[in-house]
């Protein structure tokens, strides 16, 4: 069964540093998403991406965050200057159609020191 | 009112038991509804979509009541491997973002 893959599985970074989280969505999917889950809390939407542009973003997704699809397969989330409160699991998801189930990668655990 | 509300549990049930989870959502215009399962420190995995007519997948039955803005999940003949957190997930109107509940934790014991 095709799956969404994410790298790295764990990233430890000093506060103020830039991080890039990488995702390879399912190959025939057109809709891409990032979510995050702070330890012990619910999964929260960050951003959706379709047709090479952001279609929706949450309040969490401020100017420190950006997304990119640099080639036909990768989808990245960049945090420009990390803060302690950015520590969380970051999940990438993809979907074949809007309003349909989204399939999640196994996540990147981001730890900011 | 929270967008998606669930009883956090935990629900501790013996193997073979039937257990039911409920969820309410606040936006009456919500379009799509799902149950996802999440194991500890893992990604959410789709368990099943939920339709107004109700749907069944093996031991799992999901039901949607649009009038009451209420979603349910019934698990029959619980297995040890069913132990996980069950996430009620909704897609609102004019959006395709998933809105998650906090999840209901299920622990099945021998």
Inspect the interface and report whether the beta carbons of A55 and B96 lie closer than 8 Å.
yes
Which positions 64-93 of B are in contact with A (Cβ < 8 Å)? 87, 91
Please report the pLDDT score of residue B75 as a whole number: 98
Which of B43, B46, B101 is facing A101, going by the closest CB pair? Answer: B46
For residue A102, the chain B residues in CB contact (below 8 A) are 46, 98
Inspect the interface and report whether the beta carbons of A101 and B45 lie closer than 8 Å.
no
Q: How far apart are CA B26 and CA B24, in angstroms?
A: 7
The structure tokens listed for A54 are 């952001």
Q: How far apart are CA B56 and CA B61, in angstroms?
A: 4
CA torsion sign, B19 to B33 to A30 to A108? Answer: negative
Q: What is the mean pLDDT of residues A49-67?
A: 95
The tens place of each residue's pLDDT in chain B, 110 residues long, gives: 789 999 999 999 999 999 999 999 999 999 899 999 999 989 999 999 998 888 999 999 999 999 999 999 999 999 999 999 999 999 988 888 999 999 999 999 99
Interface probe with B: pick from A3, A9, A104, most Cβ of B within 10 Å: A104
Q: What is the mean pLDDT of residues A10-26?
A: 97
Reported in sequence order, the residue ranges of A1-113 that DSSP labels E, i.e. its strands, are 5-7, 10-13, 19-24, 31-37, 44-50, 53-57, 65-68, 75-79, 88-95, 103-104, 108-112
Which of B43, B45, B101 is facing A42, going by the closest CB pair? Answer: B101
Please report the pLDDT score of residue A111 as a whole number: 97
Closest residue of chain B to A88, computed from CA coordinates:
B41
Inspect the interface and report whether the beta carbons of B95 and A56 lie closer than 8 Å.
yes
Which of B42, B95, B97 is facing A106, going by the closest CB pair? Answer: B42
Which of A33, A99, A106 is facing B31, going by the closest CB pair? Answer: A99
Please report the pLDDT score of residue A99 as a whole number: 80
Inspect the interface and report whether the beta carbons of B103 and A106 lie closer than 8 Å.
no
* Closest CA of chain A from B24, distance in Å: 15
Q: Label residue A14 by pLDDT band (50, 70, 90).
A: very high
- Given a cut of 80, is residue A2 above it in pLDDT? no
Query: Contact A102/A94 with Cβ under 8 angstroms?
Result: yes
């Amino acid at each position: 069964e095709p799956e969404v893959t994410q790298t790295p599985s764990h990233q430890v970074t000093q506060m103020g540093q830039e991080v890039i989280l990488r995702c390879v969505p399912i190959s025939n999917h057109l809709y891409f998403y990032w979510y995050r889950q702070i330890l012990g809390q619910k999964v929260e939407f960050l951003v959706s991406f379709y047709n090479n542009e952001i279609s929706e973003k949450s309040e969490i997704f401020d100017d420190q965050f950006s997304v990119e699809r640099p080639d036909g397969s990768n989808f990245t989330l960049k945090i420009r200057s990390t803060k302690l409160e950015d520590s969380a699991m970051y999940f990438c998801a993809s979907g074949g159609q809007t309003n349909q189930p989204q399939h999640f990668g196994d996540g990147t655990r981001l730890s900011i020191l | 009112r929270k967008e998606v509300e669930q009883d956090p549990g935990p629900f501790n049930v013996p193997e073979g038991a039937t257990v039911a989870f409920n969820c309410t959502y606040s936006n009456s215009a919500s379009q799509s509804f799902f149950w996802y399962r999440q194991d500890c420190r893992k990604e959410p995995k789709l368990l099943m979509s939920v339709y107004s007519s109700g749907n069944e997948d093996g031991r799992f039955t999901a039901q949607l009541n649009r009038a009451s803005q209420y979603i349910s999940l019934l698990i029959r003949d619980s297995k040890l491997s069913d132990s996980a957190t069950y996430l009620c997930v909704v897609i609102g109107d004019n959006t395709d973002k998933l809105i998650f509940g906090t999840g209901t934790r299920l622990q099945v014991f021998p």
